[in-house]
Amino acid sequence: MNTDENSKTKQKNAISALRFFAWLNLISGIIGGIILWVTMGTKEVPYYLISGTHTEINPIGVSLGFASIIVGMIGCAFFLVICSMAENLIQIRETLQDKNDKKLIENWLWLPELWRNEK
């Protein structure tokens, strides 16, 4: 395996790892939101005139759950866009390198004719 293939493998591995962390970010955001809803979604509030408590929805817990899910979705989208940009940059670099290699070969083919014309 030469260095060019080795660098391509490293680049693809890095993109795959970033894509994995993007989906992990989404899943952890959803799970975190559900845990926040379960643990902080309601609160016990005492009655004022009689003894006892009743359960009310905790707006802070519910909004934190939604915020966790939204942050997970935005983070996943951000990382997936970065992965897509990296793949496109790799493809652009390969295309430009192929064109430069073809020009280099064309220049080497014409070089002997130039030398012959000069003599």
Residue 69 lies in a domain: yes
Task: For residue 11, name the pLDDT band (cuts at 50, 70, 90).
Answer: confident
pLDDT tens for residues 38-49? 999 888 888 888
Residue 104 lies in a domain: no
- The whole domain housing 16 covers 3-84
Would you state the pLDDT for residue 78?
Answer: 97
Number of structural domains in the chain = 1
Threshold 0.75, pTM exceeds = no
Q: Which amino acid is at 64?
A: L
Residue 94 lies in a domain: no
Among candidates 97, 102, 90, 99, which has minimal Cα distance to 8?
90
Concatenating the DSSP letter of every residue in 4-72 gives: HHHHHHHHHHHHHHHHHHHHHHHHHHHHHHHHHHHHHSEEEEE-SSSS-EEEEE-HHHHHHHHHHHHHH
Residue 30 lies in a domain: yes
What is the average per-residue pLDDT within 64-69? Answer: 96
The mean of the pLDDT values for the chain is: 85
Would you state the pLDDT for residue 65?
Answer: 95
Give the residue with greater pLDDT, 110 vs 83.
83
Residue 96 lies in a domain: no
